[in-house]
Amino acid sequence: MNSLWRTVDRGTLRDIALVCLADAIVAAAFGAISVSGGLPVWVPVAMSLLVFAGGAQFAAIGVVLAGGGPVAAVAAAMVLNGRLLPFGFAVADVLNGRWWTRLIGAHLMTDEAVAFVLRHDDPRKRRAVYWTVGLALFTVWNVAVVLGALGGRGIADTDALGLDAAFPAVLLALVLPSLADKRTRVAALIGAVVAVAATPFLPAGVPVLLALVGLVPSILSRTGRKRPGEAARPDEIPETGAATEAGTATRTDSTQETC
């Protein structure tokens, strides 16, 4: 394993260290808010060890602290963690080996680890980067959560320190990169409007799940597209590139034969 990690260059190690520092701050805030909100210390610590998914942890604890039930909290976390499924396909090559190696590697999968892997093409470097990021983040995150949870016992009012804004701020930071796509922006806007409108009438956590209706227009637009194999209308076929040149050549040949 040591020889494998030596394939990671210094620039990548520096970037990993910066990411770990940023995540440590978020993890400490997670631990502090969880405990100061009334949860025992072992809850954020156990969740970080067993779940190890920052966004999902924030979503679940946020629902619980807002008065929602455990079912709504787990459902919200599962919806947010659904993004890891396509991530798994993207980095499947780095998780080869024994079954327990794949199991540990899957547990260490995060947005940051996948992002670092996708920067490289060499299989050996991809594997080294993945395990370096995964193990480093797992260690830093859990240590910071413990420190934050222990410090959170002395915080009487999280609103006074502004720590209550950490939940929406972190979730917003996770969403922002995806809003570059127009279809995603529309879905997010519809979901936000639905969630805000439903908040006064539904239990905590349920409006977040109800916001999934924002995906309906996107799904309908995709299913409404032309099925594979269906012939396109003549006016839908663009005359560009090689097709245009071929058509021009055909018309020229026909003109010469006519003459």
pLDDT tens digits, 60-91: 888 888 777 788 788 877 877 776 777 788 88
pLDDT exceeds cutoff 60 at 99 = yes
Higher pLDDT, 161 or 22: 22
- Long-range Cβ pairs for the range 134-138 (8 Å, 24+): 134/105, 134/108, 134/109, 134/110, 135/108, 136/16, 136/17, 136/20, 137/19, 137/20, 137/23, 137/108, 137/110, 137/112, 137/113, 138/52, 138/108
Per-residue pLDDT at 147: 92
**CA 62 distance to own-chain centroid:** 17
Mean pLDDT of 239-245: 44
pTM: 0.62
Measure Cα distances from 29 to 22, 106, 136, 177 in Å. 11, 25, 19, 22
pLDDT per residue over 163-178, tens digit each?
A: 556 556 655 665 666 6
Per-residue pLDDT at 46: 92
Per-residue pLDDT at 143: 95
Measure Cα distances from 229 to 54, 104, 226, 232, 235 in Å. 43, 42, 9, 9, 17
Q: How far apart are CA 189 and CA 217, in angstroms?
A: 12
How many residues does the structure list for the chain?
A: 259
Amino acid at 44: P
Mean pLDDT of 138-143: 95
Structure tokens at 254: 């026909």
- Residue in the structure block whose two tokens are 């959170």: 152
Confidence class for position 9, pLDDT limits 50, 70, 90: confident
* Mean pLDDT for all residues in the chain: 75
pLDDT per residue over 116-129, tens digit each?
A: 888 888 888 888 88
Per-residue pLDDT at 241: 46
Measure Cα distances from 39 to 45, 153, 190 in Å. 11, 10, 33
Higher pLDDT, 69 or 252: 69
Per-residue pLDDT at 216: 78
Alpha helix (H) residue ranges in the chain: 2-5, 10-36, 42-50, 54-65, 70-81, 84-90, 99-107, 111-117, 123-152, 158-161, 166-175, 182-198, 206-210, 216-223, 241-258
Mean pLDDT of 109-114: 85
Contact in structure between 149 and 31 (CB atoms under 8 Å): yes
pLDDT per residue over 177-227, tens digit each?
A: 667 777 778 887 888 888 888 877 776 556 766 777 777 777 777 665 545
Q: Is 182 exposed, middle or buried (0-12, 13-18, 19+ CB in 10 A)?
A: exposed
Farthest-apart Cα atoms in the chain, separation: 96
